[in-house]
A and B are shown apart, each in its own frame.
Chain A
Amino acid sequence: MTPDRSCRLGISMHRDRFAAAVVESDGTVLASIERPTPTATVTTVLPVVVDELMAQAGPRGVDLEHIQQVMVGVSEIDGLAGLPGAEAGWRRWPGQLGPVAVVRLGAATTSLPPLAGWPASFRATVSIAEACVAGGARLDGTDFEPLDTAGLVAFARKIAGKVNAVAVSSVFAAVAPGHELAAAGLLRAELGDSVPILLSHEMSGSGLLERENATVLQAALIRRAWGAAHRLRRALVDVGLSHAEPFLARNDGSIMTVDYALTRPLLMHGAAAAVGARGAALLAGEPEALVAFTDVDGEPTAVCSVTAGSAQLAAGSTVIAGVQTGLRTVALVPTTPPIGGTGCGLPQLAEAVDRAKSSPRDLPLLVIGPGAEKLVDTLPGPLPGTTLVCCPPRADAAAAVGVAVAPVSGEAVRMFSANSPHGDDIRHRVKEQARAAAVHAGADPATVAVTDVEESTVPYVSEPTMVLRVRAEGPPRVGWRRTYERS
């Protein structure tokens, strides 16, 4: 049966509040709510969402069966998972982290062994064993060291039966992931298919340590993510949405299927801000803008900048649970005062607006979040550096709208010699990989397309070397049916 209309349900959760919206596949917003919640798990929020949203959307001819996808965004994975450094009272995924084992391919990299910079107690919770074994690549694609298969097998036997997941990283994995793939095969043969093996080349971000840290955090979160995914699916069945495919929002403001997220839970970090900015730009019809986030009292909390409808990501790395990771998140400029300063008011907002910009050009400031209208009402006059300050329609639920309309994305990165005779071939292949990644994450295979190609040179290296980064996007797939409904 194909329903006559195709709608999406978007839910965004930030701390102790959530927003939800029903959006038609053409982008028309049919209903939205924004509420506080004592226990902001998707499972407790969903029944409220369905009751209240359907009461609004029902008169417009929308029924639960019209909802084809449910998209969920969260603000901070460290808070969600109760990682150290997160605010107290912000714990939602019960259960244990890890335990994982960490393998680094690259024996001559011991100036900082795996997890060496981690907070000691956190490290002890997450990992039971780490090893540097020979392997990895050099920039030109040749072996950094020959892969130590015997060492890998010995390590695998040591950890067999004791770990929930293994994180594997290797030197220059973005140039040549071969050793990571070979190591995964060896580990799987020893540990069995039930232990997920996470490979660093699937995490973006250059720099061995940041990529490794991100891979280890992913591995540590897997068990919690599986539990959370199970609860989300069950909750969907309970509210009568068993036919809708669940998606999760990710760091860059796009979405991915729950299946895809199961081995990449870290990508959910910072998603609420990214989809909030996307929703604000869409609702206001301003693809080039600044977005201010507010709390329920109408205080501005942070500002970010939006280009071509998407939030700009920070250039640097993201610290999660006290650990540097290669994950890129929205370049959020907090309105809290500089070191030693006091107060938070209009001058601070104006300064945050200026700091969030990448050029002196005046831009519209879109205010969203639960206190959006309150903030705009209290502004005494125009704000320096802005063309206008406005509250887009449904500003309180902008993040829910943003997640409902977000595309599915995929990325592929490759480093190669600028003198390679196969340059065009490589470019073609990397574009295919980006499209394949997007389809893997749940994009509609028929319409997914390359949206961004970025080619740069690696500075200061003697052999001219290119870094090619390709991004592909497409709308989420439709007509999905759960595996256990087939046959």
Chain B
Amino acid sequence: MSVVGYQADEFPGVKKVFQKSVSGRFRTIKSAVLLAMFIGFYGLAWLPWDRAGATPNQAFLMSFSEGKFYAGPLTFWPQDLFLLTLVLLFSSFALFFTNTIVGRVWCGFSCPQTLWTDAFQMVERLFEGDRNEQIKRAKEGNTPDNIARKIAKHFVWFLIAYVTGLTLIGYFAGTAHTFIGVTTLSASTTVCVMVLVFTALTYLLAGHAREKVCLYMCPWPRFQSAMLDPDTKIVTYHAWRGEPRGKAKKKAAGGEVGDCVDCSLCVNVCPTGVDIRNGLQLGCIGCGLCADACDSIMTKLQRPTGLINFASLAQTHDEAHLTAPLQNAGGKQRKTTKVRFYGYGVMLSLVAAAMVFTIVTRTGFDVAVTPERNPPFVTLSDGSIRNIYNIRLSDRGDDVPSVLFTVEGVNNPIITISHAGSTLAEAETPTIDFTSFTAAALRVLITVPAQDRPSGQEPIMIRLSNAQTGEVMTEASTYFWGPENRP
């Protein structure tokens, strides 16, 4: 096609990548990570957990209807959203941290795009054979056999995509409900549409877009290179050893050639189709499959392995020049202390510590007290002084106890409680029953007799304890305001 301003043949088109399968160290790691991630993703959605009421009995559940996130025994409320910030910070620092040590291993081994593409390619090989056979079939075109294989492949792809969509939405709407509801079309339109959206995305991204996501869509490769330094281990072709390329026979005969025999296997196994011998490039996701491929050839030729491996720039430089260590611009010896390594390490530990601290010290019962400021106090007809507090209570736990209110800091306080809506009870009972709700806005009146009234501001503590066991659940410090005694 031609677009205004461009020559017709300027568009190189997209070269289709036929990936060859390979076995080796990194392939094994990649497969192990793939298996673990898939078991985690598809499995954890089914992990049962007893939950009260209509909430699905599911260990991991992000309930939109309740606005709560359940993770096993932990329940997170909307006000815990800042924990998500910590999780995001942790993930970012983990990404930066691994990037300074071993480059883009996230991309190569655990990015969902990599994982699902990898799985889809395994399916493709199952039906259409390995690289050579795939190329042959592509040249043959639409023979009945090829069409049958294609249909089978796309069917399995779609099936994986569909289960992925169902599972993903299952984390939000309940897995069993989603699987049954969407398949029988009894689930809500929103759930059905979201499942279809994620099915389509999985099918398109993992089945068709593949490496194009890394090359054209993903922003991460664009700035990750700024995070590399000379000590970062990246997938490296050791040109000093491999070049000039030549046939194995030539070297055996004593010719002037390097170890690289130009077999192209490293290119053929690359999921993004790059030639690592051209140096580090945007397309390299750091998965190490080319290293596996090269090692297999070197082993066959009985040459040392590691012509392509994870190596730092400094290491490669030192090997190539044998003696002279890599130097900084000023000619001084390069510093090997990695500020970034320690910096990200410290940040990672701090965020992790903050997360653990927050979750451990979180109380199951929250109280927020706001004193009424207008007016700060009221004089009653018998001369006693009353302060009014707006109190919000929330109970994260499953048990709903009766809560006893006590006040410390003023003498002979009388506590009166009203819910929003219900008028004040005549009986001044300082307990509130939590059987019917888990969060409540209360209007609490504290009245101090005339002879005990403080002058000015007096710090007090409102204590909430379990009415049955007497155990203190939470405390809130606030103040009681009395009229300032005038001389």
Are A and B genuine complex partners?
A: no
* Interface residues, chain A, with chain B CB atoms under 8 Å away: none
